[in-house]
Structure 1
Amino acid sequence: MRSSPGPGGTTTLDASTEERVASRVGDALEAVFAAVAQTRAETAALLARVSEQGRAPASADLAALRPGLHLRLARQELVSGVGFIAAPGLLGDVPAWLEWWQTTADGDVRPLLPDLDPERSAYSDYTHWDWFALPRDTGRRAVAGPYVDYLCSDEYSLTLSAPVEVAGRFVGVAAADIYLRHFEAAALPLLRELPGPAHLVNARGRVAASADPAHLAGSLTKGPDFGAVLERARTKTFGPLRLVPCPSVPLVLVVTTA
């Protein structure tokens, strides 16, 4: 790692070190996004086949996704849950549906069976949550959280998601969950390679992992337009902060330089 004293004795970090750390964070998440991409492709292909039969899809059709979902849970160490979340009105037999599978504490795989009745459940409308709304509204991959995942696990989690489209129509999202403690175990050693305070944020400034006591995981970093940094894929300076987009994944490395 190369650094040098800056004005007033502050440490000026070699930009190549920041970019290397951002790249390694991207590498750590890319395997999870690969699982999301596989789910996305399988779901789109399945729904296209159903459409060719001239009928609306039903929740039972999504059972065909289960072998692939189980395989991803077994193969991807960081993934704690994975599946497809249907856009409301997509399925002919139910108003909303999550074809979601997750691992238990003892390593078993089980389905999530949430109550989606709007008269009984506070979780019946999931369309406002970032893991659904960001891919739907932007057409791009997203990292949501960290947040307490009351719907799936009651764990502090990140959700990585991507839009699913059939014939140009948005039909839902493919997604995967990562427990925050697992992501921090992978990300914190990288952040600590930097000589100054650093943290990672998503497109909305939510802190995903932090080696900076001033920015705790789950808090918001206000001020910069992190979405624009990700869209332009270029490092930007915002006051004392350097904003370094992580290659290929929607997280920004935020480094305090003074």
Structure 2
Amino acid sequence: MPAEPPAVGAAAAHVRATLDGVFATVARVRDATARCLADVHATGRAPVRADLAALRPLLLARLGPLVCGLGFIAAPQLLADAAWYMEWWLAGPGGRPSQLLRDLNPESSALYDYTRWEWFTGPESGAERTVCGPYVDYLCSDEYVLTLSAPVHVAGTFAGVAAADVYARTFENEVVPALREIPAPAFVVNAPGRVMASNTASWPPGAVYRENPAYSARPCGDLSLSLVTAG
């Protein structure tokens, strides 16, 4: 078996480092949210939406250039004044942030049920780090995004999810130069096999890869992603 080109390991490490940086931001939001909720519970009352406004300086400071959306998504019934709630901020045009405001009334036919998405169900079921996508984010941007998320726990109880969005095109721009150093077709896939970034038109982003003896897959660290190369 021929030796693996050094560029393969370097590219896998670069993919991991890129997303590790985003997960570091998610971890800061997770920890700040847990502290905020714990402080409220220590006063003997249930948290309300206004309590989560304390997160905004952190969220606004951490938006861009890689992170296009950031925030906390509450578990249903966590807050006393809202059955469902998202403290979510977007990097708007010209870098001006804006808060995402959507119909989260559980009695409404237009309810955005975020509890069914992988970025929520993964952390809820115990995953410490979840990478979801690429998928079209009809809620926020109508663009292809990746969502990276982690669970928030307070006193051992699941309270919701800290998460960050990354435009798929931004992720591609970040990792494709490293993929181009590999002297063979190469692409990054998520756990279901969806191509996230590629150095070849034969495997464009969004294509679905299934195990093939002509290709080999290398994990990108402990992420649920793999670098697939021909040969």
Q: Could you tell me the TM-score, scaled by structure 2's length?
A: 0.92
* 92, 98, 101: which one aligns with 1:110: 98
Alignment partner, residue 180 of structure 1: 168
Distance 1:222 1:168, change over 3 A: farther
Which residue of 1 is the match for residue 139 of structure 2? 151
Structure-1 residue corresponding to 2:153 = 165
CA distance in structure 2 between the partners assigned to 1:134 and 1:206 by the alignment = 17
**Are the equivalent residues in 2 in contact too, given 1:162–1:173 (CA < 8 A)?**
yes
Report the 3-state secondary structure (helix = DSSP H, G, I; strand = E; otherwise coil) of the residue aligned with 2:218: strand
Displacement, 1:70? 0.8
In structure 2, the residue matched to 1:190 is 178
Q: Distance in 2 between matches of 1:25 and 1:91?
A: 37
2:216 matched to which residue of 1? 242
1:210 shift after superposition: 1.9
Counterpart in the other structure of 1:120: 109
1:98 is aligned to 2:72: no
Q: 1:137 to 1:15 in 2, by over 3 A?
A: farther
Separation (CA, whole Å) in 2 of partners of 1:133 and 1:175: 12
Q: Which letter maps to 2:180?
A: R
Give, in whole Å, the separation in 2 of the partners of 1:15 and 1:164.
40
Q: Which runs of 5 or more residues in structure 1 are unaligned?
A: 1-5, 7-11, 224-237
- Looking at structure 2, the residues matched to 195 and 42 of structure 1 have their Cα atoms a distance apart, in angstroms, of 44
Deviations 1:70-96 (A, max 9, x none): 1111xx420111000111121111111
How far does residue 248 in structure 1 lie from its aligned partner after superposition? 4.5
Asked if the contact 2:7/2:178 (under 8 Å) is kept, the reply is no
Query: What is the RMSD computed on CA atoms of the aligned residues?
Result: 1.8
Q: Which residue of 2 aligns with 1:35?
A: 25
Deviations 1:25-58 (A, max 9, x none): 1112222111111000000111111122222211
1:163-193 deviation per Cα after TM superposition (whole angstroms, max 9, x unaligned): 1111221111111111111111111111111
d(CA) in 1 for partners of 2:205, 2:49: 36
Write the deviation string for residues 168-227 of structure 1: whole angstroms up to 9, x where unpaired: 21111111111111111111111111122111122232222122434332233235xxxx
Calculate the TM-score normalised by the size of structure 1. 0.83
Per-residue displacement from partner, 1:144-181 (whole Å, max 9, x unpaired)? 11111111111211111111111221111111111111
Equivalent in the alignment of 1:199? 187
Percentage of matched positions with identical amino acids = 50
SS at match of 1:177: strand
Could you tell me whether the CA contact under 8 Å between 1:145 and 1:218 is conserved in 2? Answer: no
- Distance change (3 Å), C-alpha of 1:244 and 1:138: farther
Local SS of the residue matching 2:116? coil
Among 21, 38, 55, the alignment partner of 2:11 is: 21
The offset of 1:142, in angstroms, is 1.3
Decide which of 55, 74, 86 is 1:65's aligned counterpart: 55
One-letter amino acid matched to 2:15: V
Q: Distance in 1 between matches of 2:122 and 2:79?
A: 21
Inter-CA distance 206–167: structure 2 relative to 1 (3 Å threshold): farther
The answer to whether the 8 Å contact 2:5/2:182 transfers is no
The runs of 4+ residues in structure 1 deviating greater than 4 Å are none
Give the Cα–Cα distance (whole angstroms) in 1 for the partners of residues 23 and 60 of structure 2: 16
Residues in 1 aligned to 2:203 and 2:139: alpha-carbon distance in whole angstroms: 26
Unaligned runs of 5+ in 2: none
